[in-house]
Amino acid sequence: MSIISEDRLEELSGHEMSRYSRHLLLPEVGLGGQRRLKAARVLIAGTGGLGSPLALYLAAAGIGTLGLLDFDLVEESNLQRQILHSVKDIDRPKTASARDRVKDVNPALKVIVHNTRLTAKNALSVLKGYDVVADGTDNFPTRYLINDACVLLGIPLVYGSILQFEGQATVFDARRGPCYRCLHPAPPPPGLVPSCGEGGVMGALPGIIGAIQACEAIKLILGGGHGLTGRLLLFDAWEMRAREFSLDKDPNCPVCGEHPRITELIDYEEFCGLNRKEEAPVQSLTAVELRDRLDRREPLQIIDIREPHEQTLIRFENAKVVPFGQLVRRMDEFDPSVDAVFICKIGQRSLYAIRELRRAGYRGRMFNLAEGLNSWAREIDTGLTQY
């Protein structure tokens, strides 16, 4: 059954009949289905790798209203995979670039721009009124936030995620099946799962997963086909294989279960362990401060917690390499009488690393290289590559 009610349907113009003729030829779509697409309101959360094919295909398909949610600016490193944006858009808001591009594809499209960070305070008001939400975000707090908001509002959520060569997609619709919390009741420890900016991603992969998400959104609107509700599709671009797993609704799920305990949005940064209020702040060194201490030949142990493949891009001279996942079991290799400086790409994983070592009982003084090796490449050794 379509999620679009009959009273919202409008007639198609002669121009629309011509434009969408290849849809109209499909019995599963036809005139009624195209009218539903025209009446539909879809929010795309994130206009990056996944949001790019989502936005382009939904605009081209004749979706009537498209919401674009993001707060980032276009960066050069985005262009490897985020096909909504181009060189001329660097330093522009992604939502502005995305709006212009989808309007080029379909001038009749109504675009609503949400150039804001989604939070527990604004999520319900932003998502309210949309028929479908497509999640193209890349961090756990926002994924849990979007899931919970969709459950509370009764909106189906088309989910996708990517990393390196692997992607996954499903549909979370708590009215008919599981939600994101049924699949992941708790987030992973901070820093354990790298982002695409830390672990890398094959440029074409989000095109595949984003297109699958677009298909799922269209089928929800049409009310037909065998959708991904209750099924998780896993795709490996390197091996060119796909697998599928069944997803069951968890009766004890705190947000969509039989006796939900989460009835309003919570602090998702705290839930994901990103702002532990009870912990003392982590001391940081800027790239300049670290250089000065090295120039003075102060005793320091530099601990590089990046993964082995990252070492091939930038190596920090005389650093001890201990990947994040090995830190706690190898902490006996560190000298607590000597200050330790932890380094990674952007200074985020190293922050989590210091907190994990504290909890594991390491007593030496620890410092985080603020903004990571990218800051060292910008401010100290400009011959190094920022990646």
Question: What are the pLDDT digits (tens) for 352-366?
Answer: 899 889 989 999 999
Whether residues 178 and 139 fall in one domain = yes
One domain for residues 266 and 287: no
**Which CATH number does the domain housing residue 300 bear?**
3.40.250.10
Q: Please check whether residues 223 and 301 belong to one and the same domain.
A: no
For 175-207, letters b (16+ CB in 10 Å) and e give: eebbbbbbbeeebeebbeebebbbebbbeebbb
Give the model confidence (pLDDT) of 267-305 as tens digits: 898 888 766 555 678 999 999 999 999 999 999 999 999
Q: Which residues contact 327 (CB under 8 A, 6 or more apart)?
A: 305, 353, 356, 357
Residue 30 lies in a domain: no
Arithmetic mean of pLDDT, 368-379? 92
Q: What is the DSSP letter of 192?
A: S
Q: Are residues 131 and 265 in the same domain?
A: yes
Residue 382 scores a pLDDT above 80: yes
- How many CA atoms lie less than 13 Å away from 265 in the CB half-sphere? 24
The mean per-residue pLDDT over the stretch 225-229 comes to 94
Q: Does residue 352 or residue 107 have the better pLDDT?
A: 107
As a whole number of angstroms, the distance between CA 180 and CA 159 comes to 9
Same domain, 141 and 198: yes
In the Cβ-directed half-sphere of 5, how many Cα atoms lie within 13 Å?
Answer: 2
In this prediction, residue 212 has a pLDDT band, given cuts at 50, 70 and 90, of: very high
pLDDT, averaged across the chain: 92
Active site residue 196: yes
Same domain for 291 and 261, yes or no, is no
Q: How many domains does the chain have?
A: 2
- CATH number reported for the structural domain that contains residue 182 in this entry: 3.40.50.720
pTM as predicted: 0.79
**Cα–Cα distance measured from residue 25 to residue 29, given in angstroms and rounded to the nearest whole number:** 8
Tokens of 335: 């000298």
Give the pLDDT score at 2: 84
Inside any domain, residue 239: yes
Q: Which residue pairs from 168-171 have beta carbons closer than 8 angstroms and sit at least 24 positions apart in sequence?
A: 168/209, 168/232, 168/233, 168/234, 168/235, 169/209, 169/212, 169/213, 169/216, 169/228, 169/232, 169/233, 169/235, 170/228, 170/229, 170/231, 170/232, 170/233, 170/247, 171/216, 171/220, 171/227, 171/228, 171/229
pLDDT of residue 192: 65
The verdict on residue 84 lying in a domain is: yes
- Give the integer Cα–Cα distance in Å for 37 and 218: 7
Q: Please write the tens of the pLDDT for every residue from 19-73.
A: 999 999 999 999 999 999 999 999 999 999 999 999 999 999 999 999 999 999 9
Residue pLDDT, tens place only, 63-86: 999 999 999 999 999 999 999 999
Q: Domain for residue 1, yes or no?
A: no
Q: Of 150, 179, 182, 196, which is the active-site residue?
A: 196
Does 79 share its domain with 220? yes
CA distance 205 to 164: 8
Indicate if 51 and 199 belong to the same structural domain. Answer: yes
Q: Give residue 364's domain range.
A: 283-379
Task: Indicate if 215 belongs to the active site.
Answer: no
Selecting among 150, 179, 256, 344, the annotated active-site residue is: 344
The domain boundary, picked from 212, 244, 271, lies at 271
